[in-house]
Amino acid sequence: MKAAVLFEPNTPLQIEEVSLRKPRSREVLLRTAYAGLCHTDLHFMEAQTPYPMPVVLGHESSGIVEAVGSEVTYVKPGDHVVTCLSVFCGTCAYCTTGRPALCFNEEAKLPPGKADRLKWDRPEKVNTFMNLSSFAEAMLVHENALVKIRKDMPLDRASLIGCAVMTGYGSVVNTAKIGPGDKVAVIACGGVGMSAVSAARIAGAERVIAIDTSAEKLDIAKALGATDIVNPANGDAVEQVLELTDGGVDHALDCLGSKRTAEDAFKMLAFDGTATLVGLFKAGETIELTGADFLRERKIQGSLLGSNRFRVDMPRIIELYMQGRMDLDVFISQKIRLEDINDGFQAMREGRVLRSLIDFSAQPA
Ligand code: CXF
Ligand code: ZN
């Protein structure tokens, strides 16, 4: 099968022939239907955090089960599934206290460099990314990296839920627990931020302030339910939010992950407000906060892939989509062939797209 391989940081991905072994015990073999290009893939392509290479990236995908290992009970061939990098063991303290996204039991969630699932005709090992490696025509994953979905859910929209939508929605619903009456600011309206805007509106937030430097993205955020938009190109974002809210927001979500945006998120809080850091920081990047600002009970917290319980959350998001209450169609800027993956990442770098999806049914020209 074909897969997009990253050999070295800051080089184009290369389409290579690789293979997968047969599923063992709790493993499942999938035909990949769609895979989204996420900023996290770009983050690792640029080695902002190191990862063992060569590696088949990709971690936001949908597919159809082809074969299962002898101990798999959750899915059967033909099932439609969404993948999630939050593989859970189901038995550790995090899993059994309702926080499976924090599971790090290495029996289920293999650490970087550990998986032996991908093979090829070269002496060096080809690594699996985050237990998934979605930029490939097929995937071999633990059954606890999958959620079954209804078959009438379009697989292209479903793939988005595997990362961006789960992360944005979960940061609102699970991590920040936003509810009616809350004033919310969402910094950076990519796939994650846009999903957070949508989810905050669905959760009943009184004000949903979308913040981004792209006028087009702010237009989409408005259509998804933002009550206000703030463009930092028109003046300091913190000042604009403080003015709009007469003293700050109850929740600020930093969906970018940088010193500037995280500090801004904290600075735009009302008394007792909470900043939630959703975006992925470059390894080693630090933030500075003013101690006295904590006096009036402001808080700051992290959110890992929306503190997901994805087997529960993803079907809920799908119901919202099927009922017409959460738009996912607007996220899909373009569908591309695996061969065009580097153009897809270039479009992302230039901020031209919300999501590019690799369509694995599309044949090479
Ligand atoms: C990722 C960021 C890196 C850690 C796992 C979750 N989120 C989205 O791509
Ligand atoms: Zn992602």
Amino acid 362: pLDDT: 82
User: Ligand 2 centre from 307 Cα, in Å?
Assistant: 14
pLDDT higher than threshold 60 for residue 365: no
pLDDT reading at 364 higher than 70: no
Q: How far apart are the first and last CA of the chain?
A: 17
pLDDT of residue 290: 96
Give tens-digit pLDDT for 186-220.
999 999 999 999 999 999 999 999 999 999 999 99
Secondary element (H or E) of residue 317: helix 310-322
3 state SS for 182-219 = CEEEEECCCHHHHHHHHHHHHCCCCEEEEECCCHHHHH
Assess whether the C-beta atom of 147 lies below 6 angstroms from ligand 1: no
By most ligand atoms within 8 Å of CB, the mutation choice from 42, 55, 59 for ligand 1 is 59
Instruction: Please name the residue that has the structure tokens 């503190």.
Output: 307
φ/ψ (deg, to 5) at 342: -65, -35
Q: Residues 184, 205, 158, CA angle at the centre, nearest 5°? A: 90
The reply to whether the predicted model has a pTM over 0.95 is: yes
Rounded mean pLDDT, 227-233 = 98
C-alpha distances (whole Å) from 162 to each of 12, 84, 102 are 24, 5, 16
Q: Which atom of ligand 1 is nearest to the CA of 39?
A: 9
Mean pLDDT, the chain, rounded, equals: 97
314-327 residue pLDDT tens: 999 999 999 999 99
CA 292 / ligand 1 centre spacing (Å): 31
Question: Is residue 167 in contact with ligand 1, taking CB distance under 6 Å?
Answer: yes
Which pLDDT tens digit goes with each residue over 31-84? 999 999 999 999 999 999 999 999 999 999 999 999 999 999 999 999 999 999
Q: Which of 86, 134, 146 is nearest to 308 (CA)?
A: 86
Rounded mean pLDDT, 236-254: 98
Integer Cα distance of 171 and 186 in angstroms: 11
